A and B are shown apart, each in its own frame.
Chain A
Amino acid sequence: MPENLFKLNAKEYILPGTRACQGCGLSLGYRYALKALRENTIVTLPACCLCVLHGIYPSTPVMIPCLNNSFASTAASAAGIVAGLQALNKTDTTVMAVAGDGGTFDMGIQALSGAAERGTDFIYLCYDNEGYMNTGTQRSSATPMGAVTTTTPILTKQQHKKDFIKIMDAHDLPYLATVSPSYPIDLYEKFVKAKKIKGTRYIHMYVPCPPGWGFATKDTIKTGKLAVETGVVVLFEIENGKFRFTGRSKTLAERGNRLPVINYLEKQGRFRKMNIEQLNQQQAWVDGKWQEYIRRAEA
């Protein structure tokens, strides 16, 4: 790993002193995403945690041009930017739309689906912190079963997480990948790859959120790694329909030594009210998804 580390772009695109929480998984992942995409990039984002990181007018810590827009129109605004750049004949500029899980799974889905169907040439990055963390940890359709949120305080969330990657995969995208900030080099390489591909590229980033998930700020990296070790998060990429495990998930698929999900769940405060029945259901759900991916990889 150290050799790969020196190949990373040394330039930082986010100046220190941002508004993001201590130990934020998003600032880490975003730091590497921008390092990979470099200067010639335009970012468009709705109101979300990233919008908080981007700061309040008249100053911003991010050195990449950025457009703020409304929740439901993230991908639509990206399509507009792409059309504008095409009219100006600036086709080498990368356009990246970034939204949280609420802005993607719940509100942004129609604009994203439309842009993906039209094959708009942009990268869509969904950072999935499994809830509306910016507004105070409300439930979203990305929240996993058994999690306590401020809108499911007593009974915990009863439904499973929406399999959004499958929805995006159904759009037959040229590139789709999952990344985790706990594996920054894997994340960096996938963004470098995505930059070179034309068409709609979808990247799903799982970001551990210390205040929302209820773990100590120092454990952000550990939590992200445990999610991969237990198979809750699977690192892979789908290039023109060809599925490939990457990084740690590849090793896990080869060796078959996945940890039980309890190792991941017990470390987080949000699962404190989960009962044994829900735990078994969660394990079965994760196992089912894992088997699906194994079949995809073998095909």
Chain B
Amino acid sequence: MEERKDDNISAMGTVAIGEAGKTGDWRSLRPVIDRKKCIPTVKNKPACFLCWLYCPEGVVKAGIEVEIDLEYCKGCGICAEECPPRAISMIREDKSHE
């Protein structure tokens, strides 16, 4: 860690990604997106994005191809529950998965 200039501040945290480690390993169910049903992909324009809106972690990337950062997704399943066309399904994390 770099040297601090202000020596009055003794305990100041630095911003870091993955403060609690790779939270993806908390997950027992993994979200899988069906591109044939996902509204932005089907319409080929920015639309819907309710998974992005409701994700408590902010790990959903809103784009034409919606992407979920599985390194940090905790697997709560809110996106699958709130998806209007039911394009996201929660699949059991297999121990042998790569």
A-B contact count (CB 8 A): 106
Residues A59 and B78 in contact, CB atoms below 8 Å apart: no
Tell me, in angstroms, the Cα distance from A54 to B54 when the chains sit together: 20
Least distance between B51 CB and chain A CB atoms (Å): 11
The majority secondary structure among interface residues of chain B is loop
A sample of 9 inter-chain contacts (CB < 8 A) reads A16-B72, A19-B19, A23-B74, A23-B77, A58-B13, A60-B15, A61-B16, A218-B76, A218-B77
Residues A218 and B58 in contact, CB atoms below 8 Å apart: no
Taking CB as reference atom, which chain B residue is nearest A54? B13
List residues of B whose CB falls within 8 A of some A CB: 1, 11, 13-23, 26, 46-49, 53-59, 69, 71-72, 74-78, 80-82, 90
Per CB-CB distance, the 6 closest pairs between chain A and chain B, nearest first, are: A218-B77, A17-B18, A23-B76, A16-B72, A59-B16, A60-B13
Tell me, in angstroms, the Cα distance from A31 to B20 when the chains sit together: 17
Taking CB as reference atom, which chain A residue is nearest B11? A57
User: What band does the interface of chain A fall in when counting residues whose beta carbon is under 8 Å from B?
Assistant: 35 or more
Specify which of A15, A59, A210, A216 is in contact with B13 (CB 8 Å cutoff).
Answer: A59
Residues A218 and B13 in contact, CB atoms below 8 Å apart: no
Taking CB as reference atom, which chain B residue is nearest A16? B72
Residues B20 and A17 in contact, CB atoms below 8 Å apart: yes
Q: Does A262 sit at the interface, judged by CB under 8 A? A: no
Specify which of A14, A57, A59, A210 is in contact with B58 (CB 8 Å cutoff).
Answer: A14
Residues A17 and B15 in contact, CB atoms below 8 Å apart: no
